[in-house]
Amino acid sequence: MKIIDGKSTSLEIQQELYEEVLQIKENGSKVPHLAAVLVGNDGASQTYVNAKVKACERVGFESSLIQLETSITEKDLLNEIQKLNDNKDVDGFIVQLPLPKHIDESKVTLAISPKKDVDGFHPQNVGRMNLGLPTYLPATPNGVMELLKRYEIETSGKNCVVVGRSNIVGSPMSILMSKKDNPGNATVTLVHSRTKDVKSITKQADILIVALGVPEFITADMVKDGAVVIDVGIHRVDDLSAKRGFRLKGDVKFDEVAPKCSFITPVPGGVGPMTIASLLMNTLKAVKNIYE
C-alpha cells in the first residue's frame, strides 16, 4: 500500500509554476493575476481563500482579495463580478462558495466570463471539457487527474467507479476518466444516492473515486484488494480527545480500507492541496489566452 501525498505533489507543481513565472518576468510578459471574491465571514471559506492567496504569493502570481458583506444584494455582487470581467489586469477569478442563501449561485456562475472562469464551472467551460477543447478544468477533478498521472497509476482499460454525481466533482470526474487520454480511457460507472446495492459495484472498482460528502461512507468490505482509492471528501468530526476538539475525516474509512489498497489518498493531505495547485495552473492558462 502506498500513500498518495497530495501536499508534496502540490508543492512540486507550485515550484514548477514558480520557475515558469520567473521566465515570464525575464521575458517582460504579463505576470498572472488571480482575484478571489469572498462574501461574508464564514471561517472555512476564509481559510480556503487565504490559502489560495498565499499559494499565489509562493509562485509569484499577483493576487487580490475582494471581501464583501454577507448582506450584499445579488445585484451588487453581479456588478462586482462584471468589474472583474472588465478588469484587464485580472486574468482569472473565483467566487468562493457557498454564498448567502439570498444569492442565486447559478446566476453568479453564469455571470463570470468563461475566459476568466478559472474554477471551470461555467457551462461553456464544462461543454469545452466534454468536447476535449482547450478549457479550464474543474480544479478538484483536475487535481485528481494530476495525482494519477504523477504517480504513474494505470487507468487505461480499468474499471473506475465514481461515488457521487455533483457538478463540481463527481460528474466531471466521470467524464475525465473516460476521455481518450492519459490518464483516462477507463470504463466508468457513476453511482449516487439512488443506486441500488452500491457495495456490489464499488467492489468491482480497480479505481474508486469517492466524492459523496458522507463521512467514512466507504468501508473495507466495499473495496476489492489492490484497488486505488481516491478520497475527495473532507469533514470536521467532533472529537474531544483531539487538541482542536475535532478531527478531519474523509468519505473513506481510511484505517480499515488502506491495508487493502495499492494506492490511497489520506485526509487531510491528499486531494485537498491539489485543488489549489489546479487553480494556479488554470490561472497560468488564463494569462496565455487559451481561448484565442
Going from N- to C-terminal start, the domains of the chain cover 24-115, 139-272
pLDDT higher for 290 or 140? Answer: 140
Per-residue confidence (pLDDT) for residue 18, from 0 to 100: 97
Cell representation of residue 12: 512540486
Q: Each residue of 51-61: pLDDT tens digit?
A: 898 999 999 99
Give residue 172's identity as a one-letter amino acid code. Answer: P
Decide if pLDDT at 241 tops 90. Answer: no
| Active-site residue, selected from the candidate residues 119, 206, 231, 251 | 119
Q: Each residue of 73-123: pLDDT tens digit?
A: 999 999 999 999 999 999 999 999 999 999 999 999 999 999 999 999 999
Decide if pLDDT at 291 tops 70. Answer: no
Distance, first Cα to last Cα, the chain: 44
Q: Is 82 a catalytic residue?
A: no
Per-residue confidence (pLDDT) for residue 292, from 0 to 100: 59
**What pTM was computed for the model?**
0.94
Per-residue confidence (pLDDT) for residue 108, from 0 to 100: 97
Q: Is 96 a catalytic residue?
A: yes
pLDDT higher for 248 or 200? Answer: 200
Measured CA to CA in angstroms, residue 53 lies from 36, 50, 174, 198 at distances of: 8, 5, 30, 39
Select from 3.40.50.620, 3.40.50.1970, 3.40.50.10860, 3.40.50.1400 the CATH code of 24-115. Answer: 3.40.50.10860
Of the listed ranges 29-33, 42-46, 123-127, 128-132, the least confidently predicted one is: 42-46
Contacts of 12 (CB under 8 A, 6+ apart): 150
Residue ranges of alpha helices (H) inside 117-253 are: 123-131, 139-150, 170-178, 198-202
Per-residue confidence (pLDDT) for residue 44, from 0 to 100: 78
| Active-site residue, selected from the candidate residues 91, 96, 117, 251 | 96
Q: Mean pLDDT score of the chain, rounded to an integer?
A: 95
* Residue whose C-alpha cell reads 480500507 in the numeric block: 257
pLDDT higher for 50 or 14? Answer: 14
**Strand-pair partners of 227:** 261
Which among 217, 119, 212 has a CA at the least distance from the CA of 162? 212
Per-residue confidence (pLDDT) for residue 177, from 0 to 100: 98
Of the listed ranges 15-24, 232-241, 256-265, the least confidently predicted one is: 232-241
CATH for 139-272? 3.40.50.720
Fold: same for 24-115 and 139-272: yes
Q: Is 115 a catalytic residue?
A: no
Q: Each residue of 157-171: pLDDT tens digit?
A: 999 999 999 999 999
User: pLDDT > 90: what percent of the chain?
Assistant: 88
Decide if pLDDT at 156 tops 80. Answer: yes
